[in-house]
Chain A
Amino acid sequence: MADPLLRVENLVRRFGGIVATDHVSLDVAQGELHAIIGPNGAGKTTLISQLTGHLTPDSGSIYLGGRDISHLAAYRRSALGLARSFQITSLLLDFTVADNVALAAQAHAGHSFSFWRNARKESGLRMAAQAALERVGLAHRAGVLVSRLSHGEQRELELAVALATKPQLLLLDEPMAGLGVTESARMVKLLQELRKEVTIVLVEHDMDAVFALADRISVLVYGRVIASDVPSAIRQNEDVKRAYLGDQQVVTAHV
């Protein structure tokens, strides 16, 4: 078997006395949609932040395409093809939709120490932005200020921004957070399209979405991976059921 696209080995991160990430090991194969689930406070976002470089691990390693990226800065990882969406929407609110995506395309197009040409008139950037917006169905909102978008549209824009950096690996931190039923359904449909093109690591609370989308699921509890398997096996897993005690029906309801 070829090397996995993303390999995490024995990752540890402590916050004071709390071990937020406790010897986590994960493999994500090329083309896979790998979901990470777990109860609140299980350390999912801490894990994602270490993958993207916003937090440095205390020990352990992260490999992207066989290359050790454990200590690379966030912007270097992005250049290597790692893109993320944020759990809490994080966009340039006072920029237009098109400018947000064009900046992501610009980041991918080499350095930006160009001081004279009008960036908004560079057709290459504009076309890349437009393509990414069409991908998520936001093309008709290109000229609108982001602060005027609905929450659902902002979640879609997060995806477009990530896509515009032409990533190999997309890390999605709860893309459905705060979405209504119809918006969630649209997002699931969108992700089903995207997974054909890009490897995705999905952190999500919406179990319907996770079981509908994932090739493999890893379950994180108290910073530890207690199971990592295909969805049908995760459903049967006794440890997982116990971990979700009280929330048990959430997992078993879909059997």
Chain B
Amino acid sequence: MKDKLNARNLVSALLVAGLLLLPLYSQASGNVFVLTLFTRIVILALAAVSLNLIMGYGGMMSFGHAAYLGIGGYAVGILAQEGFGSGFLQFPVALAASAIYALVIGALSLRTRGVYFIMITLAFAQMAYYVASGLARYGGDDGLTVYKRSDFGGLINLSSRTQFYYLCLACLLGVVFLIWRIVNSRFGMVVQGLRSNEARMQAIGFPATRYRLVCFVISGTMCGLAGAMLANNTDFVSPAVMYWTRSGDLMVMVILGGMGVLFGPVVGAVAYLLLEELLSQVTEYWALIMGPLLLLVVLFARGGIMGLLGRLNRG
């Protein structure tokens, strides 16, 4: 990302400013709902941003990214149920569990390419879904209620709406910053080179799978963080967060916002979830409007919203 004043950067900056100021608006207007809604949006934006790292920059079309939401969530939920309420334990465990899952799944599925990669990541996520459904001790199909949010001592109180919102936002912006550093680093150049032309990259001496796998693990760990947040947000975790439609939602957010653009998934998540919210207030058949809308974006706005803004800038 270059420090230029263009439509893309302007929209990104305005969006960040808006997200930062949102609690003030919520307080002034007494509209609590908007803060709750945007906490969820910020968390899912974090998941979408992490997916963008492998999908947009790495060219790995993972259709099982929601699995990490579940793994991060269940790590928090199960530890809470077993009496380990400290966030200093829950969050590291959530991240580590996601990383290990990503390492195993990645090592197996990165042997494949294209449609096969999509199908195998989907299959593993569905497996995780059914495993979670089978956890009778932890609610099985019905899910697991998290009676107490992660406890970070006196540092931050997750039960305070505003504090929790800012924590989520800080995580989102931190991860976006991290990804910005990564994609411009040597490692990021290799991963993007592999997306562009794998044979060429191997010919100049890069072991493709090794770099892809590390990228896959980083992305999964980031999404595990979103999962831990999500469980705290809803005070509940169930197999449904891992269902394949949730993975699809995340993909749609990335594509809608703009693949391989740093802030694309954030814009995509905000647009998608706000639209879903607004349309569902108008009609219960909101999906009937949402579907064609997404089709239009895919057909006429390749590169998503950020792609449109980029073209706007070029005139």
The reply on B311 being an interface residue by CB < 8 A is: no
A122 to B, closest residue via Cβ: B186
Q: A54-B199, A91-B200, A103-B193 are in contact. Are A117 and B186 (CB under 8 A)?
A: yes
Name the interface size band of chain B. 20 to 34
Q: Is the CB of A114 within 8 A of B204?
A: no
Instruction: From B186, B196, B199, B214, give the contact of A119 (CB < 8 A).
Output: B186
A7 within 8 A of B: no
| Residues from chain B with Cβ under 8 Å of A194 in the complex | none
Contact indicator B202/A75 (Cβ below 8 Å): yes
- Does A78 contact B197, Cβ atoms closer than 8 Å? no
Given contacts A112-B190, A161-B204, contact A93 B196 (CB under 8 A): yes
Residues of A within 8 A of B188 (CB): 115, 119
Q: CB of B288 within 8 A of chain A?
A: no
CB neighbours of B201 from chain A (8 A): 92, 103
CA distance A83 to B205 in the complex (A): 9
User: Taking the complex as formed, is A155 at the interface, i.e. its CB lies under 8 A from any CB of chain B?
Assistant: no
Q: Which secondary structure characterizes the binding site on chain B?
A: helix
Contact of B184 among A86, A93, A103, A120 (CB under 8 A): A120
B189 close to A (CB within 8 Å): yes
Q: Which of A93, A102, A113, A122 has the most CB of B within 10 A?
A: A113
Report A70-90 CB contacts with B as 1/0, cut-off 8 Å. Answer: 000111001100011010001
A94-B196, A95-B193, A113-B214 known; A74-B187 Cβ under 8 A: no
User: Quick check: B185 and A117 within 8 Å, CB to CB?
Assistant: yes
Residues B181 and A115 in contact, CB atoms below 8 Å apart: yes
Among A73, A103, A113, A115, the residue within 8 A (CB) of B204 is A103
Contacts A78-B205, A79-B205 hold; do A106 and B186 have CB atoms under 8 A apart? yes
CA distance A75 to B200 in the complex (A): 10
- Of all chain A residues, which has the CB nearest B196? A92
- B206 interface contact, C-beta 8 A: yes
A241 within 8 A of B: no
Contact A75 B205 (CB under 8 A): yes
Give the shortest distance, in Å, between A176 (CB) and chain B (any CB).
19
Interface contact B187-A113, CB-CB below 8 Å? yes
Indicate if A131 sits at the interface (CB-CB under 8 A). no
Closest beta carbon of chain A to B177's beta carbon, Å: 11
Residues of A within 8 A of B205 (CB): 75, 78-79, 104, 107-108, 165
Q: Does A99 interact with chain B (Cβ within 8 Å)?
A: yes
In the A-B complex, list the 7 residue pairs whose CB atoms are closest, starting with the nearest: A78-B205, A107-B205, A92-B196, A112-B186, A114-B186, A104-B204, A119-B186
Q: Which residues of B contact A (CB under 8 A)?
A: 181-182, 184-190, 192-193, 196-197, 199-208, 211, 214
